[in-house]
Amino acid sequence: MAKKKKVSIKSLERLAECYRQINDYANAAEWYGKLVAMPDADPVNELYYGDMLKSLGKYDAAKTAFQQYARRTNQARRVENKIAGCDAAVQWMQQPTRDDIRNVARLNTAKSDWGATWYPNGIVFMSDSLFRNQLAPGSKVNKNNYGRTNDPYYKLYLADSSKYGNIYLSDLSSVFNQYRYHVGPVAFDNGYQTAWFTVTEPDRRIATVKERIEKVTISGNRRLELYVSKKDSNGKWVQPTAFAYNKPAEYSVGHAALSKDGNILYFASDMPGGLGATDIWYSERQADGSWGTPRNCGPTINTTDEEEFPTIGADGNLYYSSKGLVGMGGFDIFKSSGSKAQWVTPENMRYPVNTSGDDFYFVSREDGSGYISSNRVGGKGSDDIYSWHAPQRMDIIPLPRPALEIPFEGTVCPRYYDACIYLYNRQRNIGWCFMATPGKTITIMLEKETDYVIRITPAGNQPKDSIEFNTRGLKGTDVLKKEICPENKIRKGGLLH
């Protein structure tokens, strides 16, 4: 009987690493689980094992792996945020935000679709699906497949929805998709006259690292570059030019985002001088139109792990994804206000914007709509495009205290528990949102001689019912008591019978 060959630790590490790099969390976790049981395995495998368990939503097991890594390496600081993220994720899932997240089924495929952003009459996005039959004549598209996944290379597509609500997919432009390797994502200026896009160019001669492991040759990765194209007087995209600070022989530069005035270019890079694997950097437009030397956005938003996919929202905030801050899984989406190297502490967008998977590339408009990309459970493919709608914002603006003289007490019907009870002052055009909970009475002081409306908005829905009343003729000694049920009639003056 032939003796069974023993598989080396190095072989298992390579196998686990391959699954990790293509985001196959389940298989990666399985092989890292075998590795951490081997006494001679590198302790870093415990770290990766925890990452994969966390991306699967197995938070208790992930915490155990991170704690074991900390004990074996004496590097508790490295996993501090990872452990905190496991605890936070459980809490955030129990108390989700009111953000509405939905799969854009008409765009997504069984492959990878992501990086959606607006374009006249539709949106532009990246895909590695077989849309080749819809490409414009003359498009120079590589017919080969990406070796890591055996899928086609990413290209940029336009989803035109201007015709009777139907979606027509086409090549964005051969100017972008002429490159033989991955193309995208793309960021446009406000007038859609300039486009910054990411390219991985295999024709570039770059330094490679080769290592012989059990008769297998492993080469280094290709790097990202930024290119910019502008429209000519006929509205056609011209031949792109390279960003002055591309250096593919040494580091990657990609994922462009423009400030609202177009004078600051943000991007992700692993260039020297950063804090970790990849950071968010910026470059300023100079008086002569050139771009200044890139500078790091600083330690408030960057960590020793990966930060990528920056975008500038309609609100002017920076949105980006990080693996180093307190998050739910792989990449989580964060937002921060500021500019250049001055930022406030980033805020996790929480569940359901973020999940245990990778959540990234957040874009938004003034009307509170937008898109995110995610490989979360339940999608159609490896990465999918999701629509995002913000909850109704209800800012509390206090009235001048001397005008608040009428005590109000509101009792909410049980069926409206967890709803937003929005109390609106017609004269001042302001209001307050109270979250109805069992046994809680809404109490507030109201103005005299004023018209009010109560709007009831169940969680995640549009306003359902409203009740109008006023405080005319009332004095400060009159307590206005109201049972907040739309079917109850209110007599003139606002007092319930």
Least confident interval from 64-73, 81-90, 444-453: 444-453
Arithmetic mean of pLDDT, 229-236: 94
The predicted model scores a pTM of: 0.74
Between CA 60 and CA 63, with CA 62 as vertex, the angle to 5 degrees is: 65
Task: Give me the chain's average pLDDT, please.
Answer: 84
- Each residue's pLDDT tens digit, 118-144: 999 899 999 988 554 444 444 445 455
Q: Could you give the domains of the chain?
A: 9-94 (1.25.40.10), 100-389 (2.120.10), 401-484 (2.60.40)
Rounded CA gap, 472 and 450, in Å? 6
Arithmetic mean of pLDDT, 93-114: 92
> Which residue, among 409, 432, 429, 430, has the nearest Cα to 421 in the 3D structure?
432
Least confident interval from 11-20, 50-59, 141-150, 451-460: 141-150
Rounded CA gap, 61 and 405, in Å? 56
Rounded CA gap, 292 and 452, in Å? 55
Rounded CA gap, 411 and 434, in Å? 12
Q: What is the pLDDT of residue 467?
A: 85
Q: What is the pLDDT of residue 118?
A: 94
Arithmetic mean of pLDDT, 101-106: 93
Helices 44-55 & 25-36 angle (0-180, nearest 10): 150
Q: What is the pLDDT of residue 377?
A: 93
- Each residue's pLDDT tens digit, 314-373: 999 999 999 999 999 999 999 999 999 999 999 999 999 999 999 999 999 998 999 999
Rounded CA gap, 444 and 378, in Å? 43
Percent above pLDDT 70 for the chain: 81
Q: What is the pLDDT of residue 262?
A: 94
Rounded CA gap, 268 and 250, in Å? 14
Arithmetic mean of pLDDT, 143-170: 71
Q: How far is CA 231 from CA 191, 370, 434, in A?
A: 10, 25, 50
Q: What is the pLDDT of residue 88?
A: 93
Contact 427, 436 (CB under 8 A): no
pLDDT at 203 over 80: no
Q: Between residues 430 and 390, which one has the greater pLDDT?
A: 390
- Each residue's pLDDT tens digit, 406-455: 888 888 887 776 677 878 888 777 777 777 666 678 888 888 888 888 88
- Each residue's pLDDT tens digit, 109-118: 888 999 999 9
Number of neighbouring beta carbons within 10 Å of residue 407: 16
Q: What is the pLDDT of residue 424?
A: 82
